[in-house]
Amino acid sequence: MQTNSPEINRRIAKWLLLCCALVFVMVVLGGVTRLTGSGLSMVDWRPVTGFLPPMSDEAWQETFEMYQQSPEFEKVNSHMDVHDFKGIFWLEFLHRLLGRTIGIVFLLPFLVFVAKGYIHKNEWLKYGTMFVLGGLQGVLGWYMVKSGLVDNPHVSQYRLTAHLVAAFMIYAYMFWVALSLLYPSDRNVRHPWYGKTVALTTLITITVISGGFVAGLKAGKVFNTFPMMGEYWVPPGLMAIDPWWKNLFDNIATVQFDHRILAITTFALIVAYWFRFPRATVPTRIKKGVNALLHTAVLQVALGITTLLLVVPIPLAAAHQGVAMLLFTVALYLCHGLGRTVQSAITN
């Protein structure tokens, strides 16, 4: 099998990390789009020709008239004129434009690296899968938007969460491949704490998923007290919907309660992980990663509680979503590093 020099691997890794950074911005911008009520302002989807906004007053009026036929305009924003409409249109447009930009930033360097022989034939499927998943993410985003273009002008919390999780998974795939290029290993020797780290990363992922349902149901705008939910530690009505399992996804009180429990549990386990981690058995970069995990978790909990108490101000809510992705990133970094720790570091 052909191999590249470390310098070429670093070039490919930098390209993938740039794509990861753009996906990170995409997730945060998507959160701002949702929080500002801008996500349903574009009622059509033109994957190829939709990279340009309306370029004239007539085009703006035509686009606004299309929006006026949507349930959101009729039931929520009927007071808007075309000037007001522009205020919500631009965020959704920029969100979609960034998605197209990511596709270009991925595809063009990929073709160059293939032409130069940096990416070998046996690796085409790996990188091609990234590109296809990115395209399918765009389709999933439109599928999500369509759920809000019916009688109820709110996107499905199921589709919103699926769109969020798909972005995290594409990001994770590219980040993992980039790390493998930066820290190659002929023989992976898993550190004894690798399994614990994977379990913790899985819990972080589940907490992120629960946060997607909180966002989709706007559950952060009720029970704006902490640590109690109003006057209750366990609010009434947690199992009010039949069958019982629907409460986990459709009941606002249950969704917020579950997210609180998951977040507190995750934070407590990260603190315990930090205290008990055997630092003497790992390289310096892993020690720094363990410290970063704790620091990021502290910031995330502080943001989550503050966002709740202040009834979801947009800057704090967007920061909370961004730091969730940062926490996920640090956990992935540790999983990768502990999955290929050199033998000497373990035995010393």
Q: Where are the domains of the chain?
A: 1-184, 187-348
Q: State whether residue 229 is helix, strand or coil.
A: strand
The three-state secondary structure class of 232 is strand
Structure confidence by residue, pLDDT tens digits, 278-295:
999 899 999 999 999 999
Average pLDDT over the chain, rounded to whole? 92
Question: If you compute the radius of gyration of the chain from its CA atoms, what whole number of angstroms results?
Answer: 22
Q: Where do we find the tokens 């470390």?
A: 6
**For the ranges 188-197, 218-227, 259-268, which has the lowest average pLDDT?**
188-197
d(CA 258, CA 246): 13
* Cα distance between residue 335 and residue 289, in whole Å: 10
Which pair of tokens denotes residue 340?
A: 């290929």
Cα gap 214→194, rounded to integer Å: 30
pLDDT of the residue at 188? 67
Q: Give the pLDDT of residue 137.
A: 94
pLDDT in tens, 115-151: 999 999 999 999 999 999 999 999 999 999 999 888 8
Tell me which DSSP letter residue 144 carries.
H
Using DSSP's 3-state secondary structure scheme, residue 129 falls into helix
Per-residue model confidence (pLDDT) at position 341: 62
Averaged over 245-274, what is the pLDDT?
Answer: 97
Distance of CA 314 to the CA centre of its chain: 17
pLDDT in tens, 324-342: 999 999 999 999 999 976 5
pLDDT of residue 99: 94
Residue 239 has pLDDT above 70, yes or no: yes
**Given pLDDT bands bounded at 50, 70 and 90, which one contains residue 195?**
very high
Rounded percentage of the chain residues whose pLDDT exceeds 90? 82
Pick from 308, 289, 311: which is nearest to 300 by CA?
Answer: 308
Tokens of 12: 């490919």
29, pLDDT greater than 60: yes
